Amino acid sequence: MSSSPAFTISGYSTARYATWFFIDELGLLLDAGDGLIAGLMSKAAKIKHIAVSHPDRDHLSGLLHFLKLFGGQGVPTIYYPESSGSFPALAEFSQRFDPDQPGRPDWKPIASGAEVVLGSGLVLRAQANRHVPCESGQTKSVSFSLLRKIRKLKPEHRHLTGPEIGALKKSLGEAAITDEVEHTELIYTADTPIEPASRWGPTKILIHECTFLDAATAESKHQIARHSYLDAVLDIAAELQPQHLILTHFSARYGADEIREAIRAGATKRQLGLPTYAVLPGETVHNILGHVPVYAPA
Ligand SMILES: [Zn+2]
Protein backbone atom coordinates (compact mmCIF):
# COMPACT_ATOMS: atom_id res chain seq x y z
CA MET A 1 0.00 0.00 0.00
CA SER A 2 1.40 3.35 -1.01
CA SER A 3 0.37 6.74 0.32
CA SER A 4 1.71 10.22 -0.27
CA PRO A 5 5.04 10.59 1.49
CA ALA A 6 5.28 12.80 4.56
CA PHE A 7 8.81 13.98 3.84
CA THR A 8 10.63 15.89 1.15
CA ILE A 9 13.96 14.08 0.92
CA SER A 10 16.79 15.30 -1.29
CA GLY A 11 20.27 13.93 -1.57
CA TYR A 12 23.36 12.61 -3.24
CA SER A 13 24.97 9.26 -2.64
CA THR A 14 27.72 7.53 -4.57
CA ALA A 15 29.98 5.00 -2.83
CA ARG A 16 33.49 6.35 -2.14
CA TYR A 17 32.66 9.89 -3.32
CA ALA A 18 29.94 11.47 -1.20
CA THR A 19 26.68 10.85 0.64
CA TRP A 20 24.17 13.26 2.18
CA PHE A 21 20.39 13.42 2.53
CA PHE A 22 18.31 16.39 3.59
CA ILE A 23 14.76 16.19 5.00
CA ASP A 24 13.16 19.62 4.51
CA GLU A 25 10.38 19.32 7.04
CA LEU A 26 12.78 18.51 9.88
CA GLY A 27 15.78 20.63 8.92
CA LEU A 28 17.65 17.34 9.25
CA LEU A 29 20.76 16.37 7.34
CA LEU A 30 21.70 12.67 7.36
CA ASP A 31 25.42 12.46 6.60
CA ALA A 32 27.33 15.44 5.30
CA GLY A 33 29.38 14.42 2.28
CA ASP A 34 30.95 16.74 -0.26
CA GLY A 35 28.55 18.68 -2.48
CA LEU A 36 25.83 19.29 0.07
CA ILE A 37 26.25 23.07 -0.18
CA ALA A 38 26.43 22.98 -3.98
CA GLY A 39 23.34 20.75 -4.04
CA LEU A 40 21.21 22.59 -1.51
CA MET A 41 22.57 26.14 -1.92
CA SER A 42 20.47 28.59 0.14
CA LYS A 43 18.25 25.77 1.35
CA ALA A 44 21.21 24.58 3.45
CA ALA A 45 20.39 27.49 5.78
CA LYS A 46 17.43 25.39 6.97
CA ILE A 47 19.69 22.66 8.37
CA LYS A 48 19.34 22.55 12.16
CA HIS A 49 20.44 18.97 12.93
CA ILE A 50 23.25 17.01 11.28
CA ALA A 51 23.48 13.30 12.03
CA VAL A 52 26.69 11.75 10.73
CA SER A 53 26.76 7.95 10.53
CA HIS A 54 30.53 7.38 10.61
CA PRO A 55 33.79 9.22 10.01
CA ASP A 56 34.60 8.13 6.44
CA ARG A 57 35.46 11.26 4.43
CA ASP A 58 32.66 10.74 1.92
CA HIS A 59 30.13 11.13 4.75
CA LEU A 60 31.52 14.22 6.45
CA SER A 61 33.62 16.32 4.10
CA GLY A 62 30.83 18.86 3.46
CA LEU A 63 30.84 19.91 7.11
CA LEU A 64 33.61 22.53 7.01
CA HIS A 65 31.98 24.49 4.21
CA PHE A 66 28.56 24.24 5.80
CA LEU A 67 29.82 25.49 9.18
CA LYS A 68 31.64 28.39 7.56
CA LEU A 69 28.51 29.56 5.73
CA PHE A 70 25.70 28.68 8.12
CA GLY A 71 27.14 27.71 11.52
CA GLY A 72 26.35 29.85 14.54
CA GLN A 73 26.33 29.62 18.31
CA GLY A 74 24.79 26.22 19.11
CA VAL A 75 23.72 25.74 15.47
CA PRO A 76 23.63 23.23 14.03
CA THR A 77 23.74 20.33 16.43
CA ILE A 78 26.06 17.71 14.99
CA TYR A 79 25.54 14.15 16.22
CA TYR A 80 28.28 11.58 15.69
CA PRO A 81 29.15 8.04 16.91
CA GLU A 82 30.60 8.45 20.37
CA SER A 83 33.72 6.29 19.97
CA SER A 84 34.97 8.08 16.87
CA GLY A 85 37.85 10.43 17.65
CA SER A 86 37.68 12.03 14.20
CA PHE A 87 34.79 14.31 15.13
CA PRO A 88 36.34 16.03 18.17
CA ALA A 89 39.47 16.46 16.01
CA LEU A 90 37.40 18.02 13.22
CA ALA A 91 35.55 20.28 15.67
CA GLU A 92 38.85 21.55 16.99
CA PHE A 93 40.34 21.97 13.51
CA SER A 94 37.25 23.76 12.22
CA GLN A 95 37.53 26.27 15.06
CA ARG A 96 41.20 26.98 14.25
CA PHE A 97 40.65 26.99 10.47
CA ASP A 98 37.73 29.44 10.67
CA PRO A 99 38.32 31.41 13.87
CA ASP A 100 35.93 34.16 12.76
CA GLN A 101 32.91 31.83 12.78
CA PRO A 102 30.06 33.62 14.56
CA GLY A 103 29.72 30.85 17.14
CA ARG A 104 30.46 27.25 17.92
CA PRO A 105 28.13 24.56 16.69
CA ASP A 106 27.00 21.96 19.19
CA TRP A 107 28.94 18.70 18.69
CA LYS A 108 27.18 15.80 20.45
CA PRO A 109 28.52 12.24 20.70
CA ILE A 110 25.76 9.63 20.57
CA ALA A 111 25.76 6.03 21.77
CA SER A 112 23.85 3.20 20.17
CA GLY A 113 20.21 3.53 21.27
CA ALA A 114 20.52 7.26 21.96
CA GLU A 115 17.51 9.35 20.96
CA VAL A 116 17.42 12.94 19.77
CA VAL A 117 14.15 14.87 20.06
CA LEU A 118 13.45 16.74 16.82
CA GLY A 119 10.07 18.19 17.82
CA SER A 120 6.47 17.46 16.75
CA GLY A 121 6.64 14.05 18.43
CA LEU A 122 9.52 12.94 16.21
CA VAL A 123 12.67 11.37 17.55
CA LEU A 124 15.87 10.27 15.81
CA ARG A 125 17.40 7.08 17.21
CA ALA A 126 20.93 5.85 16.52
CA GLN A 127 21.72 2.15 16.23
CA ALA A 128 25.29 0.87 16.02
CA ASN A 129 26.07 -1.05 12.85
CA ARG A 130 28.98 -3.20 11.65
CA HIS A 131 30.31 -0.95 8.88
CA VAL A 132 33.30 0.22 10.91
CA PRO A 133 34.83 -2.64 12.91
CA CYS A 134 35.41 -1.76 16.56
CA GLU A 135 35.69 -3.35 19.96
CA SER A 136 32.50 -4.44 21.65
CA GLY A 137 30.85 -1.66 23.61
CA GLN A 138 32.21 0.96 21.22
CA THR A 139 30.14 2.86 18.64
CA LYS A 140 31.97 4.05 15.54
CA SER A 141 29.25 3.64 12.91
CA VAL A 142 25.49 3.99 13.22
CA SER A 143 22.23 3.75 11.31
CA PHE A 144 19.34 6.12 12.09
CA SER A 145 15.60 5.60 12.62
CA LEU A 146 13.06 8.39 12.63
CA LEU A 147 10.31 7.53 15.09
CA ARG A 148 6.96 9.15 15.72
CA LYS A 149 5.93 8.82 19.36
CA ILE A 150 2.32 9.39 20.35
CA ARG A 151 0.35 8.85 23.54
CA LYS A 152 -2.60 6.52 23.11
CA LEU A 153 -5.48 6.08 25.54
CA LYS A 154 -5.12 2.83 27.53
CA PRO A 155 -7.59 0.16 26.36
CA GLU A 156 -9.52 0.20 29.66
CA HIS A 157 -10.50 3.85 29.09
CA ARG A 158 -11.50 3.61 25.44
CA HIS A 159 -15.23 3.25 26.16
CA LEU A 160 -15.32 6.67 27.83
CA THR A 161 -16.79 9.82 26.26
CA GLY A 162 -14.69 12.88 25.49
CA PRO A 163 -15.71 14.81 28.62
CA GLU A 164 -15.14 11.71 30.80
CA ILE A 165 -11.63 11.31 29.38
CA GLY A 166 -11.00 15.01 29.99
CA ALA A 167 -12.03 14.67 33.65
CA LEU A 168 -9.87 11.55 34.13
CA LYS A 169 -6.89 13.29 32.54
CA LYS A 170 -7.36 16.18 34.92
CA SER A 171 -7.45 14.00 38.02
CA LEU A 172 -4.81 11.35 37.13
CA GLY A 173 -2.61 13.10 34.57
CA GLU A 174 -2.08 12.16 30.92
CA ALA A 175 0.78 9.71 31.61
CA ALA A 176 -1.43 7.58 33.88
CA ILE A 177 -4.23 7.07 31.38
CA THR A 178 -2.20 6.68 28.17
CA ASP A 179 0.57 4.45 26.80
CA GLU A 180 3.38 5.71 24.62
CA VAL A 181 3.26 4.15 21.16
CA GLU A 182 5.96 4.56 18.51
CA HIS A 183 5.90 4.08 14.74
CA THR A 184 8.94 4.16 12.52
CA GLU A 185 8.58 6.78 9.80
CA LEU A 186 11.96 6.29 8.17
CA ILE A 187 15.06 4.17 8.43
CA TYR A 188 18.39 5.32 7.02
CA THR A 189 20.73 2.36 7.13
CA ALA A 190 23.78 4.46 6.15
CA ASP A 191 26.72 2.20 5.22
CA THR A 192 26.07 -1.30 6.48
CA PRO A 193 26.56 -4.93 5.61
CA ILE A 194 23.40 -6.94 5.05
CA GLU A 195 21.50 -7.58 8.28
CA PRO A 196 18.33 -9.61 8.91
CA ALA A 197 15.16 -7.61 8.11
CA SER A 198 14.12 -7.96 11.76
CA ARG A 199 16.97 -5.66 12.75
CA TRP A 200 15.22 -2.78 10.99
CA GLY A 201 11.56 -3.66 11.61
CA PRO A 202 8.54 -2.10 9.92
CA THR A 203 8.97 1.41 8.53
CA LYS A 204 7.16 3.69 6.09
CA ILE A 205 10.31 4.76 4.25
CA LEU A 206 13.42 2.61 3.95
CA ILE A 207 16.62 4.26 2.67
CA HIS A 208 18.99 1.32 2.23
CA GLU A 209 22.53 1.39 0.96
CA CYS A 210 23.09 -0.82 -2.09
CA THR A 211 26.77 -0.49 -2.99
CA PHE A 212 26.87 -3.60 -5.18
CA LEU A 213 24.51 -5.08 -7.75
CA ASP A 214 25.64 -8.62 -7.01
CA ALA A 215 27.13 -10.48 -4.10
CA ALA A 216 29.95 -11.97 -6.19
CA THR A 217 31.48 -8.55 -6.88
CA ALA A 218 31.21 -7.63 -3.22
CA GLU A 219 32.79 -10.90 -2.12
CA SER A 220 35.65 -10.61 -4.55
CA LYS A 221 36.41 -7.18 -3.13
CA HIS A 222 36.15 -8.43 0.47
CA GLN A 223 33.60 -5.67 0.95
CA ILE A 224 30.66 -7.85 1.85
CA ALA A 225 31.35 -7.42 5.58
CA ARG A 226 30.95 -3.64 5.20
CA HIS A 227 28.42 -3.03 2.44
CA SER A 228 25.14 -4.30 0.99
CA TYR A 229 24.13 -5.75 -2.39
CA LEU A 230 20.91 -5.53 -4.39
CA ASP A 231 19.40 -9.02 -4.13
CA ALA A 232 19.67 -9.09 -0.35
CA VAL A 233 18.32 -5.53 0.00
CA LEU A 234 15.30 -6.42 -2.14
CA ASP A 235 14.71 -9.51 0.04
CA ILE A 236 14.72 -7.24 3.09
CA ALA A 237 12.27 -4.82 1.43
CA ALA A 238 10.00 -7.72 0.40
CA GLU A 239 9.89 -8.82 4.03
CA LEU A 240 9.45 -5.38 5.62
CA GLN A 241 7.05 -3.96 3.00
CA PRO A 242 7.77 -0.27 3.55
CA GLN A 243 5.61 2.20 1.60
CA HIS A 244 8.68 3.54 -0.21
CA LEU A 245 12.12 2.06 -0.80
CA ILE A 246 15.04 4.34 -1.70
CA LEU A 247 18.24 2.62 -2.86
CA THR A 248 21.45 4.59 -2.48
CA HIS A 249 25.25 4.47 -2.27
CA PHE A 250 25.75 2.56 -5.54
CA SER A 251 29.29 1.99 -6.69
CA ALA A 252 30.26 4.28 -9.59
CA ARG A 253 31.43 1.18 -11.51
CA TYR A 254 27.78 0.71 -12.55
CA GLY A 255 26.01 2.77 -15.18
CA ALA A 256 22.58 4.28 -14.55
CA ASP A 257 20.80 1.98 -17.03
CA GLU A 258 22.53 -1.08 -15.61
CA ILE A 259 21.33 -0.16 -12.10
CA ARG A 260 17.77 0.59 -13.22
CA GLU A 261 17.53 -2.69 -15.14
CA ALA A 262 18.88 -4.71 -12.22
CA ILE A 263 16.38 -3.09 -9.83
CA ARG A 264 13.46 -3.72 -12.19
CA ALA A 265 14.48 -7.35 -12.75
CA GLY A 266 14.99 -8.05 -9.04
CA ALA A 267 11.79 -6.29 -7.96
CA THR A 268 9.71 -7.94 -10.70
CA LYS A 269 11.08 -11.37 -9.78
CA ARG A 270 9.93 -10.81 -6.19
CA GLN A 271 6.67 -9.12 -7.26
CA LEU A 272 7.67 -6.35 -4.90
CA GLY A 273 4.55 -4.42 -3.88
CA LEU A 274 6.20 -1.04 -3.30
CA PRO A 275 7.61 1.80 -5.39
CA THR A 276 11.39 1.69 -5.51
CA TYR A 277 13.51 4.80 -6.09
CA ALA A 278 17.23 5.04 -6.74
CA VAL A 279 19.77 7.77 -6.15
CA LEU A 280 22.10 6.98 -9.05
CA PRO A 281 25.86 7.58 -9.11
CA GLY A 282 26.77 11.22 -9.70
CA GLU A 283 23.21 12.54 -9.42
CA THR A 284 21.85 15.04 -6.91
CA VAL A 285 18.13 14.30 -6.59
CA HIS A 286 15.70 16.87 -5.20
CA ASN A 287 12.51 15.51 -3.63
CA ILE A 288 13.37 11.89 -4.36
CA LEU A 289 9.86 10.60 -3.62
CA GLY A 290 8.37 13.15 -6.04
CA HIS A 291 10.11 11.44 -8.97
CA VAL A 292 8.81 8.55 -11.05
CA PRO A 293 10.11 5.44 -9.27
CA VAL A 294 12.53 3.12 -11.06
CA TYR A 295 10.15 0.30 -10.30
CA ALA A 296 6.46 0.48 -9.41
CA PRO A 297 4.18 -2.49 -8.74
CA ALA A 298 1.83 -3.29 -11.62
ZN1 LIG B 1 30.02 5.43 2.28
Is 82 within the bounds of a domain?
Answer: yes
- Going from the Cα of 211 to the center of ligand 1, the distance in angstroms, rounded, reads 9
| Per-residue model confidence (pLDDT) at position 2 | 46
Distances, alpha carbon 136 to alpha carbons 22, 113, 128, 139, 161, in Å: 31, 15, 11, 8, 52
* Ligand 1: centre distance to CA 289 (Å): 22
Q: Strands 106-110, 122-128: parallel, antiparallel or unpaired by DSSP?
A: unpaired
Q: How many CA atoms lie within 13 A of 287 on its CB side?
A: 8
pLDDT in tens, 142-157: 999 999 998 899 999 9
Closest to 191 in 3D by CA, of 168, 169, 217, 218? 218
Name residues of the chain where pLDDT drops below 50. 1-2
Question: β-pairing, 142-153 with 178-188?
Answer: antiparallel
Is 142 part of a structural domain of the chain?
Answer: yes
Q: Do the domain assignments include residue 78?
A: yes
Which structural domain range is residue 194 located in?
A: 9-290
Give the distance (Å) from ligand 1 centre to CA of residue 202: 24
Q: Which residues have C-beta within 8 Å of that of residue 110, sequence separation ≥ 6? A: 79, 80, 81, 82, 116, 126, 139, 142
Q: Are strands 276-278 and 244-248 parallel, antiparallel or unpaired?
A: parallel
Residue by residue, DSSP assigns 253-278 as: TS-HHHHHHHHHHHHHHTT--S-EEE
What pLDDT, on a 0 to 100 scale, did the predictor assign at position 22? 98
Do you know the residue count of the chain?
298
CA dist list (Å): 181 to 44, 112, 122, 156, 160: 32, 21, 12, 16, 20
Is residue 53, in this structure, part of any structural domain at all? yes
The confidence score (pLDDT) of residue 1 equals 43
Separation of alpha carbons 14 and 28, rounded Å:
20
Domain count along the chain: 1
Residue type, 59: H
Ligand 1 center to residue 132 CA distance, Å?
Answer: 11
Cα first-last separation, the chain: 12
How far is ligand 1, taken at its centre, from the CA of residue 171, in Å?
A: 52
**What's the whole-model pTM score?**
0.93
CA of residue 158 to ligand 1 center, whole Å: 48
Interatomic CA distance for residues 6 and 245, integer angstroms: 14
- Whether residue 210 is contained in a domain is answered as yes
- 105 Cα–ligand 1 center, Å: 24
> Does 2 map to a domain?
no
Query: In degrees rounded to 5, what are phi and psi of residue 166?
Result: -60, -45
Residues 6+ apart with CB under 8 A from 71: 101, 102, 103, 104, 105
Q: Tell me which long-range contacts 65-70 makes (C-beta under 8 A, separation of at least 24).
A: 65/36, 65/37, 66/32, 66/36, 66/37, 67/94, 67/98, 67/101, 67/105, 68/98, 68/101, 69/37, 69/44, 70/44, 70/45
> What separation in Å is there between the alpha carbon of 14 and the centre of ligand 1?
8
206 C-alpha to ligand 1 centroid (Å): 17
- The CA-atom distances, in angstroms, between 157 and each of 153, 170, 182 are 7, 14, 20
298 lies in some domain = no
User: 3-state DSSP call for residue 290?
Assistant: helix
Instruction: Say if 280 falls within a structural domain.
Output: yes
Ligand 1 centroid – CA 133 distance (Å): 14
DSSP 8-state assignment for residue 17: T
- 249 Cα: distance to centroid of ligand 1 (angstroms): 7
Q: How far is the CA of 297 from the centre of ligand 1 (A)?
A: 29
Nearest alpha carbon to residue 48 among 10, 9, 113, 105:
105
Taking the centre of ligand 1 as the mean of its atom positions, its distance from the CA of residue 50, in whole angstroms, is 16
- CATH number, residue 246: 3.60.15.10
